Structure formats: C-alpha cells, structure tokens
Amino acid sequence: MKFTQLRLVGFKSFVDPAELHIDPGLTGVIGPNGCGKSNLLEALRWVMGATSAKSLRGGGMEDVIFSGTDSRPARDKAEVTLHVDNTDKTAPARFNDADTLEVVRRITRGKGSDYRINGEEVRAKDVQLLFADLGTGANSPALVRQGQINELIAAKPENRRRVLEEAAGVAGLRARRREAQLR
C-alpha cells in the first residue's frame, strides 16, 4: 500500500487545485516559512479522517477551508483527495478489488464533512478503519507534529498506550469493539 497522490482544493492556503505526486522513496517538501508545508501534512491527516481541529491548528473544523486574503475571497468548501496504490492487495476485503483507492473528504460550511472511497459515499468511520487496517491514519505515530514529543513524554499512561496501539496496528480493533458494543 502506497500513497501516490494528494490533491487539495480550497484547503487552508491551497485555494487553487494543487497536486502533489508522491514517488517511491523519500519525498522532501521545501519552501520558505508560511508557504504551506505543514498544511500539506495536515491535508494528509485530514483526508484520513482527522477529527481534532486543534491538531489541525484550528479552532473549529471549518478552519481548514480557505479563509481568504486581501485579494481573494474566502471559499465555502475544501476538498482533499488521496490516491492509494493497492496493487499489492493489502486493502480490506470491501475495497480490495480496486488497484487504486481514491479517498475524498470534503467539507462545506454549515454542512460538515462527507467522505467517498472510489466514488461510493462512506462514513468517517469507514475511512478511519481503512487507514487503521493499512497501519496508518490521522493519528499515526509516523506523523509527528511539532510539540508532539513533549506531549508524549507528559502523557497519561492510557494516552501513551493509545499511541502504542496505533503503532501495533490494533487501533482499528478497539474502534470496532466499541461500535459492536453500541449496537
């Protein structure tokens, strides 16, 4: 399973459609302060189902929508698309026929987020579970935010355990158990 492309429209500073092609190996993103490097990583976490506005450096979920500049009006929608190469057939059974998974998250002011996987409308939970099963996700320990190391050192044991569960790839099991118990 590999991420091959990230596309942003109206997400934070990326008001015009922007595509990032992710080739095999190491990818570096360079640019001056404030050019949007961190915003790119936040787009990646957001499309995988991030639910914490704070972790996206916003006060509310709609803060990811382009908020306008002196010369450009604000938008009322943001959309991020992630292409995942599934030619190694590691996706969960429900999506495993496809060689490429196209995961889309869109937010509209006043209407919240919706998600699609290969054109099919799905729940946030489906997207979160998909990435948890692939061993990654919005809270993946592979994505390290500024200040996160300090948070981890100071964390309560159960919160630190959550990070270990993500790393061990069993976070999806816990979410499924909770869902089963609610039924």
Q: Which residues are annotated as a binding site for ATP?
A: 32-39
* E-only strand ranges, the chain: 2-9, 18-21, 77-85, 100-108, 112-117, 120-122
43 vs 82, which CB is nearer to ligand ATP?
43
**Shortest reach from residue 70's CB to ligand ATP, in Å:** 12
At its nearest, how many Å lie between Mg ion and the CB of residue 37? 5
Dihedral, 6, 50, 177, 103 alpha carbons, nearest 10: -20
Tell me the Ramachandran region of residue 31: left when phi exceeds 0, alpha when psi lies from -120 to 50, beta otherwise: left
How near is the Cβ of 179 to ligand ATP at its closest, in Å?
32
45 binds ligand ATP per the rule CB under 6 A: no
Binding-residue pattern over the window 108 to 147 for ligand ATP, x denoting contact by CB under 6 A: ----------------------------------------
Q: How far is CA 78 from the centre of its chain?
A: 13
77 is a site residue for ligand ATP (CB under 6 A): no
Least distance in Å: CB of 173 to ligand ATP? 33
Nearer to Mg ion, 37 or 176 (CB): 37
Instruction: Name the residue whose CB lies closest to Mg ion.
Output: 38
Q: What does the alpha-carbon distance between residue 183 and residue 178 come to, in Å, rounded to a whole number?
A: 9
Residue among 34 and 119 whose Cβ is closer to Mg ion: 34
- State the Cα–Cα distance between residues 94 and 83, nearest whole angstrom: 17
A 10 A CB-CB count for 29 gives 11
Q: Which residues pair with 116 in a beta bridge?
A: 104, 121
Applying CB under 5 A, the residues found at the interface with Mg ion are 37-38
For ligand ATP, the binding residues (CB under 6 A) are 12-13, 31, 33-39, 63, 65-67
